[in-house]
Each structure stands twice: as structure tokens, then as C-alpha cells.
Structure 1
Amino acid sequence: MFRRTKSEAPTSAAPATTSTPDRPGAKGRPTPSRKEAEAAARARAKAPRSRKEQMLAQRSARGDSTRRAREGMKAGEERYLLARDKGPVRRFIRDFVDVRFTFIELLVPLLVVSMIMGYSGNDTAARLSNTLLFTTLMLILVDFFFMRFRLRRELARRFPGESTKGSTLYALMRSMQMRFMRLPKAQVKVGQKLPDTYR
């Protein structure tokens, strides 16, 4: 009998497999990394564990939704607007009013000046303040009539066949507000050329 030396060891042995056979009770999935485990732990910690925590989470979600809706309305996003502000006709009216300089924007500063001059005790200053205030009010009325005439003409040209009911009142209410107080916020600058179509 010949004894097999180390050099004569068989070279065709099957390679060792790295997979381990299924064990009873094994989880059947790879062990999560430390980062994944920490993320899952944070998610479990954030989950409301009581009715009070659940109510606080719902209130926070409502606050975020309300904040987003307010920002969308200020920016003029259609889905966040009130029913009175929706549609291409109302968007055009807002832009039509916002590109114009109106005398009503001078009314608040003039009221302050008029009050100061009126309480100064000087009869000439009081008469001058009253005249200035009356002149400003007359200019506001004249400006409004011109605006109404031009608005009706532009609506008939841009939106033929569409209902423009309430457009004059809508434009009046917006023009009576100070520019920084208007909602939705003005999307155009004073004197800017308006687009040809709003559809």
C-alpha cells in the first residue's frame, strides 16, 4: 500500500459554500445596519403613544396645512384661492388694478398730514388740509370712473361671451386697499405690461 503525500492531495474538491443552511427560528432577512436601526428607533419614538400626543400631532399637521394654504393664497395659487378670487377673469382684474397707480394710495398719508394740520391750531393750515383732502377724494372718484370704463372695455375684448358679473365691485374693493394689504398679493409691478391671454 502506498501512502498519499500532501502534494498528491486531490485538486478537484468542491469549493466551500458561504451560504448557511436555514436554521429553525431564523429571521430570513439581513441584519439591518446601525443607521437603519437608529432611523427605525427614531420613527418609533416619534409615533404618538397616547391620545394626547396624537391630538398634538394632528394639531401640528393642521397648522402646517393652514400655513401652506395661507402662503398659497398670498402667492395667488388657484387651488388655495377663495371662490370669489378664482378664474382667469378675476386674475386679470387683480393684475389690471395692480399695474395702476391709484390716488387712494395717497389717502392714508394725506389723512395723517390733515390731522396734524387740523390740530395745529392754525386756521390757514386747517383750511388747507381740508382742501387737500377734498381734492384727493375727488381725484379718487374720477380715477375710479376711468378705471371702470377701461376695465369693462378690456374684459369685453379679452373674455368675449364670458360672464363678468361683479367685476366692477371686485375691482373697486381691491383698488380701495393699500397695495401691501391686498390678498392675493400683487403679482405685477406698477406700469408693467399685462400678458395678452389669461386662459
Structure 2
Amino acid sequence: MFRRKTTEEVPAQTEPRPERPGSKGRPTPTRKEAEAAARERAKLAQDPKAMRKKQREMRVESSRQVRQALKSGDEKYLPARDQGPVRRFIRDFVDSRLGFTELLAPMLLLIIILGTGVLGENMRLFSSTLWIVTIILVILDIGWLRFRVRREVRARFPEESLKGVVWYAVMRAVNMRFLRLPKPQRKIGEALPERYR
């Protein structure tokens, strides 16, 4: 008679909360969980063998997360040199263009094969000419990439420093597309978004 009747059940929240800026990305542990973790750490400190095993497991898990992030582009686990909107923009900018610089490794292999003289003396002379042409084209491509990357970063991120921008772009451009890490997220010729945050 005096009991409250529950006719409606409150639906459970199924929608995940959006991550706030500056948050750690996980819920704060309860007191019970924190005390259990502290007891576990105290036990590990007394047993060096168990502690080494736990540290090895943590290293394996950490490297697995980094490898996964390098494939998927998840910024949370990327190395510090690849984090941030500027670095993400540079990766997308380099990946969306087809430059001669990324053909440098196959061209060098071709030049070495032709330079051995197995295919004849004419091919040996041709390889030295090809070597000079390749170097000139790579220098021109890197110069054009440097100019465009600096201009785009300055326009999109006026408050950010340009330190390391060109080096990061060139090191990514020199690698062939399938060897780049983090893996390319943009197709060649794909338009880039206006804002990176």
C-alpha cells in the first residue's frame, strides 16, 4: 500500500559519451578497483620474476597498440612525431599527390641493374644519364613539395610553427606509398578537408 510502484524502467544509456578535450579517455577507477590494483603492484614488487613477466606483457601490448595505430591512423597510440593535426594534414597532403620522389627507389634499382653492363655498354652509358635525370627530377619535386607544404600549413595553421614540417613531408614522400607508416588514409587526387582538429 505504501510501496512505490515502478511502472516504467529507466532505459540504460547505450549512446557513448563524446570525449571531452583534455580527458584521459577512460572512466576513473572506483576505490575498490584502485585498492585492488595497488595490492597487485605490491605483490609484483615482492616477486621479481612476476614483475618482469608483467612488464614484458605490458611492452607487448603497447607495441601491438602502436602497430595497430600505424595501420589505422588512430592518433591516441601513434608515436609523438606523428601526432597532431599538422602532422595528420602533412601525411594526407603527401598521400593525395603522386610525386616523382616516391619513384626514387625503383629508379635507383633500375640504374644499378643497367650500370652493371650486363645488358651492354650502351645501357651502361644510358644508366649514368638516367642517374643525372633522376637526381634533377627528385630535387625539383622536393623543391615544389617544400613550397606547397609550407604554403598550405601556413594558411591552415597560422599559429603553428613550421619547424620540421618540410623534413616530415620529404621523408614521407621518399617512401613508396605501400611502405609508408602510418598507412595512407587518402587516395591519390582526393580533396583534403578544410579543417584539421
> TM-score, with normalisation over the residues of structure 2?
0.67
* Higher gyration radius (CA): 1
Contact 2:103–2:176 (8 Å) recurs in 1: no
Kindly, what percent of the aligned residue pairs are identical?
Answer: 49
Q: Distance in 1 between matches of 2:73 and 2:106?
A: 28
Match of 1:129 among 118, 127, 130: 127
Count of aligned residue pairs for this structure pair: 151
Q: Distance in 2 between matches of 1:168 and 1:58?
A: 37
Q: Distance in 2 between matches of 1:52 and 1:118?
A: 56
Amino acid at match of 1:75: S
* CA-to-aligned-CA distance 1:159-182 (integer Å, 9 cap, x gap): 122222211111112112222222
Determine whether 1:88 maps to 2:85: yes
Q: Distance in 2 between matches of 1:189 and 1:140?
A: 22
Q: What is the match of residue 118 of structure 1? A: 115
* CA-to-aligned-CA distance 1:82-102 (integer Å, 9 cap, x gap): 222211111101111111112
Q: Distance in 2 between matches of 1:158 and 1:62?
A: 37
- The verdict on how the C-alpha distance between 1:66 and 1:161 changes in structure 2, with shifts beyond 3 A counting, is closer
Alignment of 1:12-31 (within 5 A): none
Q: What is the match of residue 149 of structure 1? A: 147
How far the C-alpha of 1:74 sits from its partner, in A, is 3.0
Q: What is the match of residue 163 of structure 2? A: 165
For structure 1, the 5+ residue unaligned runs are 1-49
> What RMSD in Å do the two structures reach over aligned CA positions?
2.3
SS class of match (2:170) = helix
Amino acid at match of 1:132: L
Q: What is the match of residue 99 of structure 1? A: 96
Contact 1:89–1:164 (8 Å) recurs in 2: no
- The verdict on how the C-alpha distance between 1:107 and 1:64 changes in structure 2, with shifts beyond 3 A counting, is same
SS class of match (1:170) = helix
Amino acid at match of 1:127: L
* CA-to-aligned-CA distance 1:52-77 (integer Å, 9 cap, x gap): 67865664454233212221133221
My pick for the range that moved more, 139-148 or 71-80, is 71-80
For structure 2, the 5+ residue unaligned runs are 1-46
